[in-house]
Structure 1
Amino acid sequence: MSSEFIGHVSNREGSDIVPPKGPVVDKDYILNHATAAEEAGIDRLLIGAFSTWPDNNQIAAYLFAKTNRIGALLAHRTGFMSPTLAARQLATLDQFSDGRLWVHIITGGSDADQQRDGDFLDHDRRYDRTDEYLTVLKKVWESEEPFDHEGEFYKVKTAVSQVRPSRQSRIPISFGGSSEAAFKVAGKHADIYALWGEPLDGVRETIGKVRTAAEAFGRADDIRFTIAFRIVVAETEDKAWEKASSILQKVKAIARPGGNGERLPSNAGSVRLREAAARGKVLDKRLWTEVAALTGAGGNSTALLGTPDQVAEAILDYYDAGVSNFLMRGFYPTEDTVTYGRDVVPLVKAGIAARKSRSIAAE
């Protein structure tokens, strides 16, 4: 299976431990970060979507206009526009990018974030809506003739689009969510299923559930998997732990979820990360969980920690478990992205190539 190595870019510099700085839409930061990632060998950058952030479609358009090779994994929240309009917007952006776009579907893990934009459906109903949304969206990309659709959430008549995705019948669809409702929709629609950085046993469990859900649609072998971590890499293991200690102290200085009456994130992915963190501060070989424990695991918050060789070895364990794409987000955004692309990715690629060679030789 082919592999992609993915980083992250935001509208301005900042992270859990780096205070936001610069203008809200910092064009210089976006360009410098994307250029550095491209030069370091990163394949694409995740561009997130939240109710308080600038429009990420326009960030992606800017990134594509200013770079030559790097792709985008564009987060797209369903339920806030017609799927016919979304299909045209995404296909147009894919045309301008010459086929460098993947779309990551966000159904909505946070009720509060959804409600800021007027969405008050409950968790499972949002997934029902996403199912219908993706059905219509894909049909717009694939249909040459006008079509009608009348469902529970959407009704369209003679829908058709002049614009199609650039290099394929449709843009690759990435999908996330750790609930049973999410598995069902992923099994039907996802080309790529995205996991947060769980221990290997949890990853194998989730891969099995997604493939089982996909069997009902005859696509159990069609889905690839992406896993997301933070990254703490240094030239020696001791120095990596020194860096981790510094990161942890900075995280501790931030108000902790649950400490002032705040509710911990209730989505299934966050719950699973907190359960993993309760098992120990280091799981498997290199999975560092202390930041997830401190922050309530509101997002991508577990890390792979060690030297480049050690982190690459840990990534290859996930490859052996069935994961093909690896998303690393830094505590120090540009510095960590460059370190990942320059020092870790070549080692992982070499390990994957060796595995493929052994497999061919054994046939």
Structure 2
Amino acid sequence: MPVKFIGYIGFNNTSEIHAGQRSRVLDRDYVDAAARAQEKGGFDRVLIPFGSSSPESQIVAAHAAAITDTLGFLVAHRPGFTQPTLAARQLATLDQLSGGRVAVHIITGGADEEMARDGDVGPDKAQRYARTDEYLDIVKQEWSAARPFDHKGRFYEVRQGFSAIKPDNLPVFFGGSSPEAIDVAGRHADVYALWGETLEQVGDSLRQVRQSAARYGRSPGFSLSLRPVIADTEEAAWKKAAEIEDQVRAAREAAGLPVSGHRPANAGSLRLLETASANRRDGRLWTGVAALTGAQGNSTGLVGTPEQVAQGMLEYYDIGIDHFLIRGFDPLADAIAYGEHLLPLVKAKVAERDARPVALAS
């Protein structure tokens, strides 16, 4: 199966190692440079994140699409704040204007206080996943219906809904580890997104999602998020990882943020924090930053030379991962380095592996 690479465009050239440092909230020069560098580096898409206090992801994606030719965009989108009919038309419009380069990453949201900042103070987590399920039903009807339709559900009522603009093929990415999330993923995900856990944990998640999807006659792809740390030697790479941990710790302490005793609000972060009970897993999976930050999002990585990290990624490919979402702690420089030194190796190894297929996890 083909392997796809997803990069990342934040809104400025900072990360966890820069916490507390002053920076423009939206740095257009960085966005432009990051988009062009990742297009040149062979990334298939870049993730544009969503946050309750961040710049708006679809607008940033529209800008980046206008200055690139082939780069795709994975637009993070949170159900509940926009009517699904309108969201469907917005995404379809962006897809058409970009020449079919858009996918959407549905983020249901797990932290009540973060959701409340956007005025979403009603549903609990289980209700939010039920709302996401209904939301995506309506979005997909808008994208496919040949004539006006009615919908009356638990969260939404639509009378004679119809979108004149349709996407050509707009994949839905979806993540979440709770039982409710796994069920929604089975119904709707074209690609199910996981954080970087051990091979055993990732294999278990793939089996759960495949079983859920099979109930609906579906077969999704799978994306794994990692923060690779590469250097010329393995020793230098692990030294670099230790330095990143020191920088993250210092930045969080300077900002008054905790570096231990975390209690994540969502199932995915809880799982990832349990994985971070040891600094290294499976020999090359590094969890130091996840432990310091409470496993907030994509925070684990593979460490080693480009050849070693590529081999580690191939092990995930062999159990069914066909997308890799990778980003670094020095966002622009790391994206350039991945394009030059890591992506070509993984592509070559996958091409070699595809000549002698292996059994996937079932």
Structure 1 range deviating more: 183-192 or 231-240: 231-240
Structure 1 range deviating more: 17-26 or 194-203: 17-26
In structure 1, the residue matched to 2:331 is 333
In structure 2, the residue matched to 1:17 is 17
Matches within 5 A, 1:24-39: 24-39=25-40
CA gap of 1:33–1:258, structure 2 versus 1, over 3 A, is: closer
Q: Give 1:260 deviation, angstroms.
A: 9.3
Structure 1, residues 63-111: CA drift from partner, whole Å, max 9, x if none? 0001111111110000011100000000000011101101000100221
Asked whether the equivalents of residues 262 and 294 of structure 2 are also in contact (C-alpha less than 8 Å), the reply is: no
CA distance in 2, matches of 1:108, 1:177: 9
Q: Give 1:28 deviation, angstroms.
A: 0.8
Provide the aligned length of Structure 1 versus Structure 2.
354
In structure 1, the residue matched to 2:155 is 153
In structure 2, the residue matched to 1:223 is 220
TM-score, with structure 1 as normaliser: 0.94
CA gap of 1:262–1:78, structure 2 versus 1, over 3 A, is: farther
In structure 2, the residue matched to 1:238 is 235
Structure 1, residues 185-243: CA drift from partner, whole Å, max 9, x if none? 00000000000000000000000110111121111xx2000000111100111111221
Asked whether the equivalents of residues 251 and 291 of structure 1 are also in contact (C-alpha less than 8 Å), the reply is: yes
CA distance in 2, matches of 1:150, 1:245: 54
Identity of aligned residues (%): 49
In structure 2, the residue matched to 1:2 is 2
Matches within 5 A, 1:303-314: 303-314=301-312
Structure 1, residues 293-322: CA drift from partner, whole Å, max 9, x if none? 111111111111000000000000000011
Matches within 5 A, 1:1-363: 1-19=1-19, 22-120=23-121, 121-165=123-167, 167-168=168-169, 171-219=170-218, 222-255=219-252, 259=258, 264-278=263-277, 280-359=278-357
Q: Give 1:356 deviation, angstroms.
A: 1.3
CA distance in 2, matches of 1:132, 1:113: 22
Structure 2 unaligned spans of 5+? none
Asked whether the equivalents of residues 18 and 332 of structure 1 are also in contact (C-alpha less than 8 Å), the reply is: no
CA distance in 1, matches of 2:239, 2:260: 32
Q: CA RMSD in A?
A: 1.7
CA gap of 1:207–1:182, structure 2 versus 1, over 3 A, is: same
Structure 1 range deviating more: 153-162 or 15-24: 15-24
CA gap of 1:63–1:181, structure 2 versus 1, over 3 A, is: same
CA distance in 2, matches of 1:275, 1:226: 20
CA distance in 2, matches of 1:123, 1:294: 25
One-letter amino acid of the counterpart of residue 252, structure 1: R
One-letter amino acid of the counterpart of residue 23, structure 1: R
Q: Give 1:252 deviation, angstroms.
A: 1.4
Structure 1, residues 311-347: CA drift from partner, whole Å, max 9, x if none? 0000000000110000111101011111112111111
CA distance in 1, matches of 2:304, 2:212: 35
CA gap of 1:15–1:261, structure 2 versus 1, over 3 A, is: closer
Asked whether the equivalents of residues 18 and 251 of structure 2 are also in contact (C-alpha less than 8 Å), the reply is: no
Asked whether the equivalents of residues 187 and 214 of structure 1 are also in contact (C-alpha less than 8 Å), the reply is: yes
Q: Give 1:264 deviation, angstroms.
A: 2.6
What is the DSSP-based 3-state SS (H/G/I as helix, E as strand, rest coil) of the residue aligned with 1:103? strand
Structure 1 range deviating more: 313-322 or 332-341: 332-341
CA distance in 2, matches of 1:259, 1:315: 31
What is the DSSP-based 3-state SS (H/G/I as helix, E as strand, rest coil) of the residue aligned with 2:356? helix
TM-score, with structure 2 as normaliser: 0.94
Q: Give 1:263 deviation, angstroms.
A: 5.6
CA distance in 2, matches of 1:85, 1:229: 33
Q: Give 1:155 deviation, angstroms.
A: 0.4
